[in-house]
Amino acid sequence: MPPGTSGVNGAKAPRESSESGVDSLPDGILQHIIGFLPARDAVRTCVLAQRWRDLWMLATRLRITAATDDDMEELREFVDHLFLLRGIAPLETCEMRFHSIVDADTFSSYDVVRVNLWFQHAVRCQIRVLRFAMTGKFAYCELIATRLVSQYLMELELVGMVVKQSFLNLSGCPALELLLLDESDLRCVKKISSESLKRLSISCCFFNKSFRTHIVAPCLVSLQIDGNVNKTPVLESMPSLVNASVRIVRIDGVDVDSCNNCDSGDCDSCHSIIHGNSSCVLLEGLSKAKNLALVTESKTGSDPKMVVKGSHIPGQKTGAISKYLEIVEVKCDVVDDKVYKVSVSSRRESKGMPLDILPLN
């Protein structure tokens, strides 16, 4: 029976759709699907049919990646035209990851400017999640912008970047909740500050040797500081902190968390140590955490490694931290006198709080 004619009960037979499969989906869903493709593949969808010609331009996710064997000149041309054609259409997520393409022969100062323009263009697209990574042997790329301003940005990940002094003053990003810094050069950064930030992770980064970076994030809920080089940052008060994990690496016996120059915290070495009876620069910011892991390890020597750092001094109170903790886990290679004193002190000051002594590995 031809489509549209009446059947035995007088009902019309359904017309066959001119579209089937993925072509039957609305444009919004197709744009969402295209957003999961690498940028080159997303652009190639424009040749599928007339309807697909402009869909990639309105996709809300953008993934630009490059690897060692990619031609740098081709990459420059592709990304330049990509941003030129899509304009400033809103983006939910933009991910730019360049692996092992940076060396003296192929990556010039002009490319540094170009990469920064790509970064700024993504910010102009009302971006909410921005991931920007430069990895490999010659990984570092300088972020030229002195300040980041976006009313929409909620998550920022930077890998392999050289960050300027005021870039991480994030007062211009009132919606930012997540900041990830990995393998980046923070030696010029004196302060990392955000009133809205809830999660912060800093791992394998370079801090300055002469001064300590201040971290000011009063709304922080989760903090991870892991395996950074040079002076450990000073943490200001974080009353909302729930989870904190800090791993400090001692290089050639130098304790990057301690300041023995003064008691007031006013010297250039420490800036601000709230606890005058302790040389540790981390205690004030971590004092409200409910789940806390402190790990210290040495790059030289055979000293035992353990998760609770610092020496026990009879009569010295550590209740500023322990009164908030619900469980203490001490992980170490060897249960020595130092570990024993820490465990006894924690039990006494926390009135019977559960304490487990576990192997480090």
pLDDT tens digits, one per residue of 214-248: 999 999 999 999 989 888 898 888 999 999 888 87
Following DSSP, what letter does each residue of 291-317 receive, concatenated? EEEEEEEESSS-PPPBSS-S---TT--
Query: Tokens for 98?
Result: 């360049």
**What confidence tier does 304 reach under pLDDT thresholds 50, 70, 90?**
very low
Residues 3-36: pLDDT tens digits? 555 444 555 444 444 555 777 888 888 888 888 9
Q: What's the mean pLDDT in 181-185?
A: 95
Assessment of whether the complete model's pTM goes beyond 0.85: no
Domain locations along the chain = 61-316, 317-361
pLDDT: which is higher, 143 or 332: 143
CA distance 266 to 330: 32
Across 39-53, 63-77, 249-263, the highest mean pLDDT is recorded for 39-53
In this structure, the number of other CB atoms found within 10 A of the CB of residue 327 comes to: 12
> Mean of the per-residue pLDDT values for the chain?
76
Over residues 137-164, the mean pLDDT reads 88
Strand order in the sheet with 214-216: 191-193, 214-216, 234-235
Among 82-91, 179-188, 316-325, 327-336, the minimum mean pLDDT is found in 316-325
| In the block, residue with structure tokens 């576990």 | 358
- The pLDDT value given to residue 15: 43
